Amino acid sequence: MLFTTLTTLALVATVQAVGRAIVSNLCDAPVYLWSVGSSISTQHVIPRDSSYSEVFHHDPISGGIAIKMTASENGLFNPNVSQTIFAYNLDGGTIWYDMSDLFGDGFLGRRMYVKPSVTSCPEIAWPFGKLPSGEGSQVRHCTAETDLTLTFCTDNCLPSWSMCGDSVPNDHRSCCTHCIGSHHCVAVPSWA
């Protein structure tokens, strides 16, 4: 009995708490998402003011997990549709994470940030919805206990080409870039 109790306590002590990968959409338009390892999940639709989350896990075949997102329904299975990829790899007590785009910048003009719940861990910031100019790889790491939240349209900002200002008198949100002529959000600057 004592041996069983000690064994159980030892096993509990070696189990580490792990965090979650969270994708939160504050944009008006939905985000379409798939969790991809050695297999592909079903499509998840994240409407405005909604979130998707999964507990960090290690895929026995692929190792890491790629959360792939598109701005169009079934985008993962249509040719040349832009994908934003929020990837993580659980390695013992460490979580490695990064972001990248494939086939262009499908969420251009929408602020995107990855914020860890452990504040000492590094963020990933895409203020214009694409990898900032001059930035190389943005691979980061943190303790596996953190939650990593990728937020689209932080502060509920309006994407490029959205109506703003006088054009929408009952909507007081700011543009992800800025409002031009008090009627439309401008395009992302070419230098971004």
For the 17-156 domain, the top CATH level (class) is: mainly beta
Q: Is 75 helix (H, G, I), strand (E, B) or coil?
A: helix
Domain boundaries along the sequence of the chain: 17-156
Going by pLDDT thresholds of 50, 70 and 90, the confidence category of residue 134 is low
The per-residue pLDDT for range 73-121, each reduced to its tens digit, is: 999 999 999 999 999 999 999 999 999 999 999 998 889 999 999 999 9
Is the model's pLDDT at 15 over the cut of 70?
no
What are 91's strand-pairing partners?
94
Phi and psi (nearest 5°) for 46?
A: -110, 100
Is the model's pLDDT at 174 over the cut of 90?
no
81-118: b (≥16 Cβ within 10 Å) or e: bbbbebbbbbeeeebebbbebeeebbbbbbbbbbbbee
Residue 47's nearest CA partner among 130, 148, 153, 125 is 153
Please compute the mean of the pLDDT values over residues 19-34 and round it to a whole number. 95
